Amino acid sequence: MKFKKPKFWDYKKISIWSILLFPISIIFLFASLIVRIFKSLVLRKNYKIPIICVGNIYVGGTGKTPLASEVFKLIKSIGKNPAFIKKDYDFLFDEIQMLKKIGPTFLGGNRGVAINNLIMKGHDVAILDDGYQDFSIKPDFSILCFHSNQLLGNGFLIPSGPLRERFGSILRAECIVINGYKNLDFENKVNNYLGGKKLPIFYSKYKIKNIEKLKNKEITAFAGIGNPSNFFKLLKENNINVKNTYSFPDHHNYSDKDYSYLLKLKEQDVLLVTTEKDYSRLSEKIKQSFECIEVDLGQTIFFRLSSDQIKRYYQEDEKDDDFEPIIHFF
């Protein structure tokens, strides 16, 4: 499914397009509520293993898949046997490939069926990459992702804005992870909405692993992701000499015409650079002409303690007064 985000979704002032599309957003809201009630009352099931959901309310570009990968590594480090759950849609091929590089990934049109398959294979933790809006599953722990460059966009529901749910849906989350820079205004907005309830807010920031390949070179960057501008900004923040940038729709399938255009740019003696998600969608015969940017979530914090302390906490069931556990249901 090709999708290029409308620019007015991130305008701080109300756009005429948001006003014109608002009636459809109201219909979307009521339709979503009906689906939510039906799934919650009729389809919802409990499972024998912990379910961790990494989701968002802003459509695309919040960093769910990299964060889900980091959660997998963390759970693996404390002696558990986790696996990913992902909807099996063709347009999600890039994200599925990224997850499979990290660990076992179970696919299906129905997440519940995929979870049952995961359990049958001996896994003891399910990590949902997306699924915050799947009310047929009750997660034990939900992580809500935002990107500091967009946060809530213009604050409207689809299609007037980028939100899949109202802001109040943060009540279902156990913590928020913001990819990017600290934003006290947003933290205050969350805290004011919740009143006396405490919702931990953490920050993560992408770290380019193969940055040495890009230094002292002219770069042309292209991306077909939820928010390409975030990728371009990341390169520039790392003092990469970005000469040109080109945006494509999210989950874009690159055609021969696209390849021809991009390779002409390469003739200008620039290095063609793209994201890991985009790289997985490139033709195998053409990949050698492009450089893939590999990133880690370098500062994602879920615990105020070291990895060794995490293992000790769970293995010996000892609680340390110096830290506050976030994932605590094992």
| pLDDT greater than 80 at residue 296 | no
pLDDT at residue number 132: 95
Per the document, the length of the chain is 330
Which CATH architecture group holds 40-204?
3-Layer(aba) Sandwich (3.40)
Q: How far is CA 25 from CA 73, 131, 159, 239, in A?
A: 38, 21, 6, 40
Region for 239 from its dihedrals, namely left if φ exceeds 0, alpha if ψ lies in -120 to 50, beta otherwise: left
Helix, strand, coil percent content, the chain, rounded in steps of 5: 40, 20, 40
Locus of tokens 């879920």: 302
* CATH classification (class only), 207-297: alpha beta
Which DSSP symbol is given to 97? H
Residues 16 and 154 sit within 8 Å (Cβ to Cβ):
no
Give per-residue pLDDT as tens, 182-193. 999 999 999 999
pLDDT in tens, 160-171: 999 999 999 999
Cis ω on the peptide bond leading into residue 159 (within 30° of 0)?
Answer: yes
Note the pTM of the prediction, 2 decimals: 0.85
Task: Write out pLDDT tens, residues 18-63.
Answer: 999 999 999 999 999 999 999 988 888 889 999 999 999 999 889 8
Q: Hey, what are 176's tokens?
A: 């928020």
* pLDDT at position 128: 97
Quote the CA–CA distance of 86 and 64 in Å, as a whole number.
12
What crossing angle do the helices spanning 93-102 and 64-77 adopt, rounded to 10°?
20
pLDDT at 318: 40
Residue extents of the structural domains in the chain: 40-204, 207-297
Mean pLDDT of 74-98: 91
- pLDDT-derived band of residue 286, with 50, 70 and 90 as boundaries? confident
How many Å is the maximal CA-CA distance in the chain?
61
Q: How many CB atoms lie within 10 A of CB 197?
A: 10
Collect contacts of 181-187 with beta carbons under 8 A, ≥24 apart: 181/148, 181/205, 182/148, 183/148, 183/151, 186/146, 186/148, 186/151
Most confident of 37-46, 124-133, 286-295: 124-133
CA atoms within 13 A on the CB side of 136: 12
Rounded Cα distance between 119 and 124, Å, is: 7
Among 40-49, 128-137, 215-224, name the most confident range.
128-137
- Domains 40-204 and 207-297 alike in fold: yes
Residue 113 and residue 293: Cα distance in Å, rounded?
34
- 163: which strand partners? 58, 157
Determine what percent of the chain is predicted with pLDDT higher than 70: 88
Amino acid identity of 43? Answer: L
